[in-house]
Amino acid sequence: MAKRTFAYACSLTSLTAILVASVALPSLAPAQGRGPTDPGVRGGAAGAGNPITGLTAEEGAFFNAAKDVFEETETVADGLGPRFNLDSCVGCHAQPSSGGSSPPVNPQVAVATAQGAKNTVPAFITANGPVREVRFVRNPDGSPDGGVHALFVTTGRSDAPGCNITQPNFAAAVAANNAVFRIPTPTFGLGLVEAVTDTALQASMAANSQQKRALGISGRFNRNGNDGTITRFGWKAQNKSLLIFSGEAYNVEMGVTNELFPQEREENTGCATNALPESPTPVVPNDLAATSPAAGFQSDAVLFAAFMRLLAPPTPAGATPAVAAAAAPSSTSTSSTSTVVASASSVLPAAAGTTSTAATSSSTSATTSTVARGQQVFTNIGCSACHTRSLTSGKSSTAALTNVTFQPYSDFAVHDMGDGLADGVSQGAAGGREFRTAPLWGVGQRIFFMHDGRTKDLNVAIAQHASRGSEANQVVQNYNALAATDRQAVLNFLRSL
């Protein structure tokens, strides 16, 4: 499966505008003293990557088989290309474990020349930078584009004889301010997100509408154009389901056609030589049947979706992983509500004041109390108006996903984030400045932030929420007006998630 690079794009112009605005408006400047420091990526064991608690034996086996496929590397014979961004799902969704986000070493650099390929690595792809996909904002005639333009071609690869196509001119696109980027979104806990009813999402949105009124926040849901229901996956909440998400990424990111997206995006006959779709539903069980009989009959896209659906949510530091989720594997729902992730107020945070090198271990300098204080401040100044803490799933055909209260820290609505984050790409109802509230669960072990991975520093990420036209301006002003200790507490809290 392909990486789902979620790109976000930001132009140098936009960044400059934000910097200028930050300097020009004293009220946005920190209130006192030196600014707080992002503790950096929380060390220790990965707080994510395991299946959700409460799966039946059959569901657990299905998860394991699906994980194997998620971690496979694709070749041209498997369907890779002719244009692609990477050759596996896990290559992009790797941090801190399979299913996550961009890893510390970008595998796109190596894949550019794998198997004899001669791809040029664009300047915005670096060895220690985020995995990225690129979208062009406009077509050459000025009409809206917004689509993904894959970075690499199979030309020159030993498994693609006869293919002779070239990469797009990314340097020209960047120079024309026409290239925008997105990085992979983490996929942990998404089965719970998928299992939330539209009614519950709307109720959650309405519950703090009064608080939003005092903060300049509105927001709205992106919706499917066919059935009108809320869409919730992707940086702009543009994807309706995990299955659609999987099928689209398989084709767009890896070039593997499937039953959801059965046509090649590049139909050059010298390159696109496989029968389509390249990943069909098997009618004879494949070797996955040894792990899970059901998995042996599934297409890759179905298995990718299953892996994401059954992944447990990230576990905050110090919390007990995935507790008490629908322990009974019965297919009948229970009337009670389970809780999947312990409160972050009980965690030991990462080290405050250290640099943000990956995997530095937590220290004792930041205490449980500062994390608890950080959570309180986070709520009080208005972050939680959008990064809503809790949701409860509805009745799911998977018992472990039924009636579970979990903490994604997102309302899954799209909000106007202003010129500073705008990518000029519209998807569904989400316009060029609108983005889904990024779920913050697991943010403690993420490396890159914002849709385009523009920063590794949470403090910068917070500042980037403010720009002309952003719904978050007042909240960022509130953050900047805090005492330095409280701003540090917020960062410690975030790194505890």
Which tokens hold the place of 262?
Answer: 């059965």
Beta carbons within 10 angstroms of residue 395's beta carbon: 13
Using rule CB under 8 A, residue 290 touches another protein: no
Q: Which is nearer to another protein, 172 or 206 (CB)?
A: 206
Give the DSSP letter string of 441-496. TTGGG---BSTT--BS-HHHHHHTT-STTBTTHHHHHHHHTS-HHHHHHHHHHHHH
213 contributes a contact to another protein by CB under 8 A: yes
Q: Which of 324, 378, 384, 381 is nearest to 204 (CA)?
A: 384
Q: Is 268 in the site for another protein (CB under 8 A)?
A: no
Check: CB of residue 301 under 8 Å from CB of residue 31: no
Distance CA 151, CA 121 (A): 8
Q: How far is the CB of 354 from another protein (least distance, A)?
A: 24
Contact between 223 and another protein by CB under 8 A: the answer reads yes
By the rule CB under 8 A, 381 interacts with another protein: yes
**Using rule CB under 8 A, residue 368 touches another protein:** no
- Token representation of residue 94: 């790797």
- # chain residues binding another protein, by CB under 8 A: 49
* CA 9 – CA 460 distance, rounded (Å): 16
Min dist. Cβ of residue 427 to another protein (A) = 13
Pairing of strands 338-339, 404-406: parallel
Q: Output the six-digit token pair for 298.
A: 């599934």
- Classify 372 as helix, strand or coil: helix
| CB 121 within 8 Å of CB 53 | no
Contact between 470 and another protein per CB under 8 A: yes
- Is residue 45 involved in binding another protein (CB under 8 A)? no
Phi, psi at 391, each rounded to 5°? -140, 160
By the rule CB under 8 A, 216 interacts with another protein? yes
Told to check if 418 binds another protein by CB under 8 A, we report yes
Among 98, 106, 370, 375, binds another protein (CB under 8 A): 375
To another protein, the closest distance from the beta carbon of 430 in angstroms equals: 11
State the binding string over 179-208 for another protein (x if CB under 8 A, else -): -----------------------------x
Residue carrying the six token digits 């600014």: 35
Q: Smaller CB distance to another protein: residue 448 or 493? A: 493
228: left (phi over 0), alpha (psi -120 to 50) or beta: left
Pick 254 or 371: Cβ nearer another protein: 371
Contact set with another protein (CB under 8 A) = 21, 25-29, 31, 208, 210-211, 213-216, 218-220, 223-225, 228, 375-377, 379-381, 415-416, 418, 428-429, 431, 433, 466-471, 473-474, 477-478, 480-483, 486
